[in-house]
Homo-oligomer: A and B are copies of this chain.
Amino acid sequence: MPRHVTHVPLRWADMDAFAHVNNVVYLRYLQEARVDMLFVHAPRHGAEQLAEGVVVARHEVGYRAPLQFRAGAVRVETWVSAIGNASFTLGYEVLDVNGDGERVVYAVASTVLVPYDLEDARPRRVSDEERLVLESFLETDGPLPGRSAA
């Protein structure tokens, strides 16, 4: 299945004292990619409710290489790695594709999202309509953020 691709422009203020994009900033890049996929693109394909309310239950981010600050955007590829009854999981890679087509991966991440009924203020099940849209992005064998090891 094709991954959803978002180009997230870096901001000067994303840079830390080591001239790298600071580790805390990556969650903002993932948020941009997620909002772009779920709020901008998914509703066009019939899953309006996804845009109305999902709650972040969990993030994992595995850092692979430092992202030196430079002008321009970084590529974020997003897919659906799992679909449960009352939650689903996104996978992401933050990367550059250089001139030779080589992929330089800065981070691999995942987010567990819970559909939420804003009126009743409680979690709800993934609807059949949403499941169809999410399945169109399903990639169950994508990379994982990595072990929790020490």
Binding site for B on A (CB under 8 A): 8-9, 11-13, 15-19, 22-24, 27-28, 31-32, 35-36, 39-40, 55-63, 69, 71, 81-84, 87-89, 110, 112, 145-146, 148-150
Point out the residues of chain B lying under 8 angstroms from A88, CB to CB. Answer: 150
A interface secondary structure, majority: mixed
Complex: chain B residue closest to A111, CB-CB: B23
Name the contact of A19 in the complex, choosing from B11, B17, B24, B145 (C-beta under 8 A). B17
Known contacts A149-B82, A150-B83: does B40 contact A13 (CB below 8 Å)? no
Determine the chain B residues whose CB is within 8 A of the CB of A60 once the complex forms: 58-61, 148
Give chain B nearest CB distance to A9 CB in angstroms.
5
